[in-house]
Amino acid sequence: MTVQPLSRRILSGASLLFQTILLSACISGGSSGTKNITPQSVDSATPDENAPPNITILSPVSSDQLTADNPIYFYADAWDKDGSIKKVELYSGATKIATLFKSPYAFNWENVPAGNYKLTARAYDDQNNMQQSVAIQVSVKPQKALTVSLVSPADNTSYDIESSIELKANTSDNTQVVQVAFYNNGSLLGTDTTPPYKYTLNSASIGTHDITAIVTDKSGSSEASETRRVIVSEESIPGSDGSLKVYPAVAKIQKYKSTHFSVNVTQSGISKNSFVYQSTNNASPGWKGTLNYMQKANHWTTFSFSGAVNIDANRLDGKTIKTCVIRPLSLKIKPTIQGSHCSFTLTKPTKVSVEIDEKYSLSAPLKNSGQITKNIVKHPLLVFADPLETNVPNPSGPNVIYYGPGLHKIGKTKQLNDNTQVYIAGGAYVIGGFKAGKNPKNISIRGRGILSSVGETETANEHRQWGNHSIDFSSGNKGENLLIEGITISEPLRSCIISYNTVTIRNVKLMSWSHRNDGITAGNNSVIEDSFIKVTDDNIKLYYSNQTIRNNTVWQQTAGAVFKFAWQLNGVSQGNQVSNIDIIHSDVFNDFSPAEKDRPEMRSTNAIFSAMGFKKDAAFRNNSFKNIRIEEKNLLRLMSLRLVTSHQAANDPGKIVYWGDPGSNAAKTIEGLIFENITLASVPYKQSTLYGNKGGNIRNLQFKNLKINGTLIDSKNLLSSKNDSTGLLTAGGVSNITFSQ
């Protein structure tokens, strides 16, 4: 009896069973990525003793983006249920391009000119029977794509409403251009067919405008430029010193005033007090050990400005300041200390943690090996310096819900209708949460105020139902034009923001204390940018596709991950681009998760990058992480990616806990990931782990310019840890993990 490989057994049988086969090819000098490959031929299941062989082209597929400067990875799957395969021939039209005599039947087709191709494969069995595959039609584009870039306007330029905004673009080859089209917030403004390519935008509306250009060449292909943002306000920003706005604190919110700090902001010789809020840690003391490793309180202030501004932070106890550190360190802000004051200058909107005389150190044993020491910042002062607001809605305008300065209690889940603007003004403190209906449309929640659940509680039944999020857009997945901008969310009952719909999240500040207080979950094609996230569980959940996550600052607290790839993932997450992230702290100090049944050292999902609990056919693939700066010098673990699903219960060795699909052969995949320009301030305590299973694979992970304490990690053996063995720990179906400069 001949035992067929898994892919053949899946395709054979009396009834037809289709499945998607996941294949990734990383070819030196060629294209890299992951392909959804659907078999093009099936076992005929004929009872004849001398049946023809079966053959399927797995790569390429018709949807592949192929270019003349990359080889084409040609891969076929062939089998014969009553014999063996003698050879496989690969054809382009009538031209044979390769003959293969041994599995795997794979070939790199080099130097392929641009054009359209019909690809087939022929399999011959040991009785010389031949079977030809279904043809695959592919298109190869020219080697060099035409590009376009914006010359003007400059990014983040401000204009008044009377201004004419001149848009200009350059292309890489004017001889190939058919037209250049200019867009504002995704809407076509106009086109130009001759260089210099330009358009004048007159009388732009008040607000933010994202400008792009798209060039079309003679072959019909199009490429987009970078995006330039311009801000149109009612009047021009006065003078080089810009302008400054602080927010009132009415009597009813004085009880949330900081007992540790005050802040003054100064511009053009005029000083203003910026109210400092305080949120005292209310995490459950039953979560053993956690409170020791957390802040006692968050202190924060918010103001808006343009130009340059000086910030003066003052200790209210009057003690002389010995040290003052401003994070992210990548901003290279050097403060000045004088008595009980720490002052520094900002020249652009940003979010910083001001850490004054913070030297609290704590050590504890780690499960399995060694101990961990953490330097805990007990009283951070968070300064949220925002851009000036534009297009503030009229409080009495149609479909506007306006919360002015003061205290507002709205209930745990205030329902929002479509076409609604929620505005939380600076100085407003709103207690409650917002929830939209199914497939919400045209809803914005913005401002400079605070949304909090302080004082709210939930029943045990509510806790089980996974509700009471601060902002909930989780019903349906076809919503559109959703915006969350500028507000601060503090002390949520559950997640800060959860959306299964497309949403833009910009310049938000998120802070929490309790377990299962996640930061952000966003749907397909969402944008998360220019935000500050400091929550006690997972900061950003990447469960959907084609998200852009950029220019964010993260403070990882005592559980979960900064980037969670999967926890009960059911589907495919792909095409996400994460870039320019500052991880200023990681307070994770232990492995809470139960041990793996068969590999007890592969413990926990607490890490910067983490995944577990995949459902059948779930995949996390073709996602990139670039320019990630990790400042934490006492990091527990960089990475824990796991496809296994059965775990030994922590307090009951005889009990097995399941996450994801419990089937040991269930197909699951992590592949095609790029980690580029990742820097760690020091060596982590625990090893990074990659753990596959029988039905799934972790493959094709590229680490480019990974540095630990300035040292380039160009081998998995150099990915060391303080308490464990040196090297990346792998088990199960793990393959093609590469490290390079």
DSSP string covering 364-375: EEPSSS-EEEEE
The token duo for 700 is 């094709």
Distances (CA, A) of 646 to 598, 613, 657: 9, 9, 6
* Helical residues (DSSP H) of 525-627, grouped into ranges: none
What is residue 252's three-state secondary structure? helix
Amino acid at residue number 85 = I
Q: Rounded to an integer, what distance in angstroms lies between the CA atom of residue 256 and that of residue 275? A: 10
Q: Rounded to an integer, what distance in angstroms lies between the CA atom of residue 71 and that of residue 68? A: 7
* H/E element, 6: helix 6-11
Q: Rounded to an integer, what distance in angstroms lies between the CA atom of residue 251 and that of residue 402? A: 19
- Cα-Cα-Cα-Cα dihedral of 628, 631, 634, 639, to 10°? 0
Q: Rounded to an integer, what distance in angstroms lies between the CA atom of residue 163 and that of residue 502? A: 32
- Encode 18-47: b = buried (16+ Cβ within 10 Å), e = exposed: eeebbbbbbeeebbbbbbebebbbebeeee
Q: Rounded to an integer, what distance in angstroms lies between the CA atom of residue 373 and that of residue 722? A: 11
Q: In terms of residues, how long is the chain? A: 741
At residue 612, the pLDDT reads: 84
* H/E element, 677: strand 668-680
Beta strands in 172-245 (DSSP E): 177-184, 187-192, 197-202, 207-217, 222-224, 228-233, 244-245
Task: Encode 108-158 in three state secondary structure.
Answer: EECCCCCEEEEEEEEEEECCCCEEECCCEEEEEECCCCCCEEEEECCCCEE
At residue 303, the pLDDT reads: 96
Q: Please check whether residue 377 is in contact with residue 299, taking contact to mean a CB–CB distance below 8 angstroms.
A: no
Q: Rounded to an integer, what distance in angstroms lies between the CA atom of residue 215 and that of residue 561? A: 40
- Which residue, among 275, 271, 354, has the nearest Cα to 309 in the 3D structure? 271
Given the structure tokens 């500028």, which residue do they identify?
Answer: 486
At residue 696, the pLDDT reads: 84
- Encode 708-731: b = buried (16+ Cβ within 10 Å), e = exposed: beeeebeebeebbbbbbeeebbbb
Q: Please check whether residue 429 is in contact with residue 435, taking contact to mean a CB–CB distance below 8 angstroms.
A: no
Other residues' Cβ atoms within 10 Å of the Cβ of residue 101: 9
Q: Rounded to an integer, what distance in angstroms lies between the CA atom of residue 252 and that of residue 499? A: 32
The token duo for 713 is 């990690």
**Composition of the chain by helix, strand, coil, percent to 5:** 5, 50, 45
pLDDT < 70 positions in the chain: 1-49, 143-144, 160-162, 206-207, 233-242, 285-290, 367-368, 592-603, 645-654, 657
Amino acid at residue number 385 = A
351-364: per-residue pLDDT in tens?
A: 999 999 987 888 88
Which residues are 406's β-sheet partners? Answer: 428
Q: Please check whether residue 707 is in contact with residue 652, taking contact to mean a CB–CB distance below 8 angstroms.
A: no
Q: Which residues contact 87 (CB under 8 A, 6 or more apart)?
A: 99, 100, 101, 123, 124
Burial of 281 (0-12, 13-18, 19+ CB in 10 A): middle
